[in-house]
Structure 1
């Protein structure tokens, strides 16, 4: 669902506290939600096409990178 930026930050902070020291799965369409994850799996048509942390995936300039750039462009 659509939430404002302030609420998103509050939700992300709450999740961070709940997930500390635990294995957690986050399914997200909004990429900012998963940027701090230890491991990100990128799925296309149900197949894992990339995995790594945010920095690794951005460096590879693959599908995740393309999705990040598209998200940044659409928010301008």
Structure 2
């Protein structure tokens, strides 16, 4: 009976270590994905701002604004 209790405790410790390692690997992978997403969103934000400038400038020509070149 003592051997069974020891085996159960060792199995529990192994399961906890496996869970801890799995959580750390998952956390590291999540950080890599967040970094990649962050870079992608930065690029798309800059791209959308650059593409928004011409419609804003040309929108003034559709208004009744004087002294435009």
TM-score, structure 2 normalization: 0.26
* Greater relative CO, 1 or 2 (CA 8 Å, sep 6+): 1
Higher helix share: 2
Higher strand share: 1
- Report the structure number with the largest CA radius of gyration: 2
TM-score, structure 1 normalization: 0.24
